[in-house]
Amino acid sequence: MVSAVFAQAPTQPALPRPIDIPPWFTQSFLDLHDELQAAAQEKKRLLLYFGQDGCPYCRRLMEVNFSQRTIVDKTRANFRAVALDIWGDLDVTWTDRRRTTEKQLAKQLNVQFTPTLLFLDEQGRVEARLNGYWPPHRFEAALDYLITRQSSRLTLAEYLERNAREAARDELNSEPFLMKAPFDLRRKAGGKPLAVLFETRSCRACDEMHAEGFQRPEMRALIARFDIARFALNDASEAHHAVGGPARRVVVGARAEGESTRPPWCSSTPATAEVFRFEGYLRPFHLTGAFDYVAQGAYRTQPEFQRFLQSKAERLREQGQVVDLWR
């Protein structure tokens, strides 16, 4: 049975639809050292947007978030925005004057998802990154966090918890496949890989992931190939139930490092070394793709998740299926 992600159709679009960048983005020669200096002169900080044509999340960022006047006004007043293509071959000069290309820079900065927004401080260091699409109310709250320079007082996750609460379940979603406490996250040779979910209560994206993403037939088959542990983000007591070296670092470190997106997802090999992490809002095709990427061990031969997804989509299209990345 074909899942709701796909439907039969006689034709396929020839090329990904281009993403229109707002005209107020800087028309840049991609000399980011010069852009950093220009931002300082304007009393702004530098914002780098990494996207790609055909990306429904990028389109939503541009057409939904950047159609709202308050978001546009705050972004324009406080940040100098520059757009880059994660597959692009244009020459780029990084803030330290090293020469590279768009796609090489994306790889160096570990950009695995589109859109990814990097906010640089006045010295050219990455001050914050937003991986994936953030809905407007959370995106605007993240802007406020950066504009008011709250990082010395709060992590972004803590700030969002106080200032961007959502209409959602007040309890974490239960699932029969989730591991039960006490957790032993140590892996044995030949055992299943481990997937760790960090979620919060009152998280609409988490509710959607459980109600829709985890219910797809392909996803249910993949779930059976993993051990899956779930921890409540910002709930320190949850971490004390976990046992096992590096995996404990993943759980505890997530809070200490200020995990900011919901629901982030990561998976580990049987040796309990983290091999992949998915952050930000994601629809079922990408959720399934993330688990499939690790289940196949594809990260060993294809370090770029986006290329793995492209190949997966192309194979499905060759089978006569339409791949709707937003459904």
For residue range 274-308, what is the model confidence (pLDDT) as tens digits? 788 877 777 888 899 989 998 999 988 998 988 99
pLDDT of residue 17: 63
Instruction: Say how many residues make up the chain.
Output: 327
Residue 15 predicted with pLDDT over 60:
no
pLDDT of residue 235: 52
- Write the burial class of residue 129 (CB in 10 Å: 0-12 exposed, 13-18 middle, 19+ buried): buried
Mean pLDDT computed over 203-207: 84
Are 164 and 214 in contact by the 8 Å Cβ rule? The answer is no
For residue range 90-131, what is the model confidence (pLDDT) as tens digits? 999 999 999 999 999 999 999 988 999 999 999 999 999 999
- Write the burial class of residue 190 (CB in 10 Å: 0-12 exposed, 13-18 middle, 19+ buried): exposed
| 8-state DSSP, 213 | G
CA distances from 123 to 36, 42, 45, 95 (A): 8, 15, 10, 9
- The domains found in the chain, sorted by start residue, are 32-163 (3.40.30.10), 183-296 (3.40.30.10)
Three-state secondary-structure class, residue 247: helix
